[in-house]
Amino acid sequence: MITKAAPLRLPIANGQFANNEVVLETPVVLAPMAGITNSAFRTLCREQGAGLFVSEMVTARALIERHPETMRLITPGKGETPRSVQLYAVDPIVVGQAIALLASENLADHIDLNFGCPVPKVTRRGGGAALPFKRKLFSAIVASAVKAATPYGIPVTVKMRIGIDAEHHTYLEAAKSAADQGVAWVALHARTAGQMYEGKADWSRIAQLVEYMAPTGVPVLGNGDIWSGSDGVRMVEETGCAGVVVGRGCLGRPWLFAELAAAFNGEPNPDLPDLFHVRSVMYRHGELLVDFFESEGRAMRDLRKHMAWYLKGFSVPRELRANFGMVSSLSELQHLLNQLENQPYPTEIAEAPRGRRSHGRAVHLPDGWLHDPDEFASITIDDAVSGG
């Protein structure tokens, strides 16, 4: 049993941090989630517990072109360090240019490369979880990223899936290739792209990758089905991974990071919040979104999608619940929150899966994508895939 987890170290050589590295005493990373992990949500999670909090995915080309929404997405919250940006790229030259921009203008302390996105609009163009199948292209992208980041002391990490589908696993070879290029760690979501978010993550794949990567000395992080603090500890115990990456488990539950911090430090689990505590978190989230968007209307539109997650399992009148989904101002939000009657947290759903539960499907790929894994394909992906 873990009584206190080993810290996770992220080497940074630009002098911003003591000993030229970030030490994550709680080895937990917030997974980038499109439309979710803006600086407001990251701040909310940081207030709950320790860890590394990664931005939403942005495309390298949109960054080079300084797309306004992309520049907003990489803007850190107040006091946010290290500044962690997840970058999506399909061209070695473009990724190098994007990282050079981030580094030379001091806009990031850590770069994570996305090779795990399973959505069709990405994979049908050969990106995300489809890309590691093209071995030479994958290696070239990672090498270009590390080369551009190294002079500035910025560490590069990668996040990937098991592979495209049950017949096309890429994670072992891709992870070793990334290690050879100099990444600081590899994170594995233990599902294939074809599984989307279906069923249970196969943690045995994480354990296999840990063993496979041991000779390289590059740490492996595990991702998939972390719904509680005890799940995080169990993943480390069962797989030997150096830390965990948390995605859907924190939706409507940013206090999951407090649970994880307690669990990894061998401390008692914090009490679950009652509804009055939850409503204070909801209002805080709204305030942070107003600061982020600099528009109350836009902030409330963004907050609406979180309402069902926050209120999941609580007894809330149907009309009131519907009104939360249409909230348009902070004053209206406060008025609605004042109508909630306090009640204990619904323990039956506290550790239940939440968020996307897409069924498995055939992965959309470019024509002929699976013919030759060594073909050096170079793909141009629309900037719209990242929302900017």
* Contacts with 322 (C-beta within 8 Å, 6 or more apart), sequence order: none
Catalytic residue among 45, 117, 241, 250: 117
Phi, psi of 109 (to 5 degrees): -110, -10
250 is catalytic: no
For the stretch 233-240, contacts whose Cβ atoms lie closer than 8 Å and that sit 24 or more positions apart, written own/partner, are 233/2, 233/5, 233/263, 233/264, 235/203, 235/206, 236/2, 236/5, 236/27, 236/264, 237/1, 237/2, 238/203, 238/207, 239/203, 239/204, 239/206, 239/207, 239/210, 240/207, 240/210, 240/211
**Closest CA relative to residue 288, chosen from 113, 90, 80, 117:** 80
- Euclidean distance between CA atoms 366 and 363, whole angstroms: 10
- Euclidean distance between CA atoms 39 and 370, whole angstroms: 38
- Euclidean distance between CA atoms 168 and 2, whole angstroms: 34
- Euclidean distance between CA atoms 152 and 331, whole angstroms: 45
Torsion of CA 32, 36, 41, 42, to 10 degrees: 10
The residues assigned a catalytic role are 117
